[in-house]
Structure 1
């Protein structure tokens, strides 16, 4: 569990600098340049992610059960993760209604993803992992929306064509992950 927590601190810590230390972040970017900042950010993210995967794998091998998820939780998790993948796709597809309305669909997608996995898993390691991501995504979403309001940020109006692209890309990616990659990479088959 120590490696999992350390990985979460590094990964989510790197992703939280803008939330808790925006002036410091701006000063560092000005001092070392945006390319060096992005390199350090990517390095910290990669190290944190590797520790999360390693730590969760170790903890998953010796699960400490907190609760037994009900059968319906798996079905709801499937629906929530599909929605999460659509929102995450919408973050990268310009001029869609998801981004126009929500502003930060990836952060909302991470929230749906985390809730889905909290519902479907009842172990301590899952609670720590997905609970940490949920807390971070809720905090970052609120912080990002506040920054948008203060800056007067307006996102371009969406089109239904771009919405359809976001939905198709999101659902196709979700299906690929749910039916093939999740079992291969994570060792758990959501549909089998």
Structure 2
């Protein structure tokens, strides 16, 4: 469990600089330069992610059950993860109505993804992993919305078009099908569908 927690601290910690240390982050970028900052950010992120994957694999070998989720929650998980993938796509497809309305769809997608996994996994490693991501995503969304309000004159989100929104929904749905029916089993050795 220690490796998982260390990985989460590194990965979510570096991704939390805008939440808890915006001034420090800005000063570091000014001091080091944007390229060096991005390189360090990437290295810490990759190291954290590697430790999360390794630590989670180790923790899954000795599961500590906290509760036994009812089977019907799998259907709720499928719906929430489908919505999460659509929100993830909305972060990248230009001029879609989802991003125009929600402004920060990626962290909302992470919230749904983490919540969905918490609903169907009742062991300690899952609670630590997905609970950490859920908490981070809630705080990240709140901080992003506060930044938007503080800079309301400078932050604009273009109106979405119907075609871009359709592309967003289709792309997110296709990726969800690929992950749910194939990639999740290949990568995690767990077949959710």
2:136 paired with 1:136: yes
Q: Deviations over 1:24-53 (max 9, x none)?
A: 111111111111100000000000000000
**SS of corresponding position for 1:99:** helix
Aligned length: 191
CA distance in structure 2 between the aligned counterparts of 1:105 and 1:118, rounded to whole angstroms: 20
Aligned counterparts, 1:76-155, within 5 A: 76-152=76-152, 153-155=155-157
Per the TM alignment, residue 21 of structure 1 is displaced from its structure 2 partner at its CA by 0.7
Deviation at 1:129, TM superposition (A): 0.3
TM-score (norm 2): 0.98
Deviation, 1:154, is 2.1
The structural deviation recorded for 1:185 is: 0.3
Partner of 1:41: 41
Q: Per-residue deviation at 1:97?
A: 1.0
CA distance in 2, matches of 1:59, 1:132: 15
| Structure 1 position 94, deviation (Å) | 1.1
Distance 2:44 2:21 in 1: 16
* Partners of 2:160 and 2:124 in 1: CA distance: 41
CA distance in 2, matches of 1:143, 1:154: 17
Aligned to 1:161: 163
Residue 174 (1) aligns with residue 176 (2): yes
- Runs of 4+ in structure 1 off by over 4 angstroms are none
CA distance in structure 2 between the partners assigned to 1:146 and 1:94 by the alignment: 23
Q: Give me the whole-angstrom Cα distance separating, in 2, the residues matched to 1:163 and 1:69.
A: 34
**Unmatched tracts of structure 1, length 5 or more:** none
Shift, 1:61, TM fit: 1.0
Report the Cα distance in structure 1 between the residues aligned to 2:72 and 2:162, rounded to whole angstroms.
32
TM-score (norm 1): 0.98
- The Cα shift of 1:98 comes to 0.9
Q: Deviations over 1:160-185 (max 9, x none)?
A: 11110110110111111111110010
- Superposed CA deviations along residues 88-125 of structure 1, whole A, max 9, x for unmatched, are 00000111111111110000000000000000100000
Residue 3 of structure 2 corresponds to residue 3 of structure 1: yes
Q: Cα RMSD (Å) of the superposition? A: 0.6
